[in-house]
A = this chain, B = another copy of it.
Amino acid sequence: MNKPISQMTRAELVFEYSELLAVYEQVKAEGLSLDMSRGKPCKKQLDLSDGLLTVLQTGEDCSNAFGMDMRNYGMTIGVPAARKLFAELCGVEFDNVFLGGNASLELMFDAVARAELFGVAPGMKPWSQCEKVKFLCPCPGYDRHFRICETFGIEMIPVEMREDGPDMDTVEKLVSEDEAIKGIWCVPKFSNPTGAIYSDDVVRRFAALKPAAKDFRIFWDNAYMVHDLYDGVPDILNIFELTQGTENEDLVYMFTSTSKITYAGSGISVFITSDRNMKHAMKYIGAQIISYDKLNQYRHAIFFKDANGIRKHMKKHAEILRPRFETVISALDKELGGREMAEWSKPLGGYFISLDLQAASAKRVYELCLDAGMKLTEAGATFPYGKDPKDANLRIAPSYPTLHELRLASQVLCLCIKLATMEKLLSDMGFFENGTTISLNIGK
């Protein structure tokens, strides 16, 4: 049965539905434990960086050529060799690179916290003293960005995410009209979760934005900047370079990290911004910390040597991740292709596959999967306040499970999508009224 659902008769629907139900009951009986919920690297990927563990073995290893001892206090802005590495990788000046701890999320949260408490520049009103603060949120997007906004009571305005980036007509219109809009979250390469790559045109329009708010900042989370699954994926334009020397010089807060290059929990994070923004931020960071962990920054500098070292390393990640992505996508193609039940992204990099259901409810599919022993990212997570207006989007994270588990997981996912779709169609036809016997009593 591979007919598009629009062409199926009621009898065909009932037949397939009852078949699927039987399979689903079998799957449930197996007591699976599968997890495609978070963008966690798998063990094999983590193992790629185990050289980091022994790159500094003695006290002597911990000093650089200038006699700076990375074990001791000092160097608030970070280890020079590691700043140089990221200046090269990101195509920015050394002076514009600040190194944080193991989490760029913390750097983003803290950047928002500083804006709330102290304002984004000298003389600017702290956001916490503004009557209203709003952020634009391209959707579907990254739940942890949205959670930062929610934590600070920042109103989130969804903007449509397209294949080449956010809907820029809307972005330009909104930021130019509303002074309460102070920021936008962007994951410009392999956007979380759609995998979209911002086109040159989109990046140029961002660099030339004319926000009404003088304290508007673009939160440019380049988390997946070197996370290509295939050779020859085009790189995005360098928004930082585009803005330097223009009136938009202070527009961009750029972030990246090695969370998905080395260790998810023990990488290093990077904050790149203009001289003026950096000077302002350092005033507060200097009161917050003497420096982040310089040994770990230095480990990364020695381990990779230069930007090419990182790029070579990322090819090894691609070899591990590519078959994982392809396993899920080929299962979706095979099981759901042409059936008008869902559409899914075929990303060239990053960590996620985004799936949009045509008829079924994402919440229902999430629930069916969970009952069959498989955890997905919670339905709605990719939208502000966890509320997907169409209840249609699911984020699939294929990095963590083994290939064997992924094959199984993809089957379960497709099964649940079919089941939820049939259920919805049959329900709309009134099939479940009047005590029909084939009823599905799961979830909740």
Contacts and interface: CB of A to CB of B under 8 A. Distances in A.
Given A71-B264, A147-B287, 20 more contacts: A40-B72, A40-B73, A46-B72, A47-B59, A53-B57, A54-B57, A70-B265, A72-B265, A73-B264, A102-B292, A103-B291, A105-B289, A105-B290, A109-B288, A126-B128, A263-B295, A265-B291, A266-B294, A266-B295, A266-B296
A285 to B, nearest CB: 9
Contacts of A296: 266, 293, 296
A101 to B, nearest CB: 5
Q: How many copies does the complex hold?
A: 2
A116 interface: yes
A74 interface: yes
Interface string A34-48: 000010110100110
A263 to B, nearest CB: 4
B71 A59 contact: no
A41 B69 CA distance: 11
Interface string A285-311: 001111111111000000000000000
Interface in A284-342: 284, 287-296
A152 interface: yes
A362 to B, nearest CB: 23
Contact of A72 (B58, B144, B150, B263): B263
Contacts of A289: 103, 105-106, 109
A148 B284 CA distance: 9
Contacts of A43: 59, 69
Interface of A: 38, 40-41, 43, 46-47, 49-50, 53-54, 56-59, 61-62, 69-74, 101-103, 105-106, 109-110, 113, 116-117, 126, 128, 144, 147-148, 150-152, 263-266, 284, 287-296
Closest 7 pairs between A and B when the two form their complex, measured CB to CB? A266-B295, A109-B288, A71-B263, A151-B287, A102-B293, A106-B289, A46-B71
A107 to B, nearest CB: 10
Nearest to A298: B266
A83 to B, nearest CB: 15
A345 to B, nearest CB: 23
24 contacts: A46-B62, A46-B69, A46-B71, A46-B72, A50-B58, A53-B56, A70-B265, A70-B266, A72-B264, A74-B265, A101-B101, A103-B292, A105-B289, A109-B288, A113-B113, A117-B128, A117-B152, A126-B128, A144-B287, A147-B287, A148-B288, A150-B287, A266-B293, A293-B296
A284 B151 contact: yes
Contacts of A40: 72-73
B73 A265 contact: yes
A53 to B, nearest CB: 6
A230 B264 CA distance: 42
B290 A265 contact: yes
A132 to B, nearest CB: 16
Contacts of A150: 287
B287 A73 contact: no
Contact of A288 (B102, B105, B295): B105
Contacts of A47: 59
A265 B290 CA distance: 8
Contacts of A54: 54, 57
Contacts of A49: 71
A53 B46 contact: no
Given A101-B102, A265-B293, A294-B265, A287 B109 contact: yes
A292 B128 contact: no
Nearest to A109: B288
A295 B69 contact: no
A117 B112 CA distance: 11
B50 A59 contact: yes
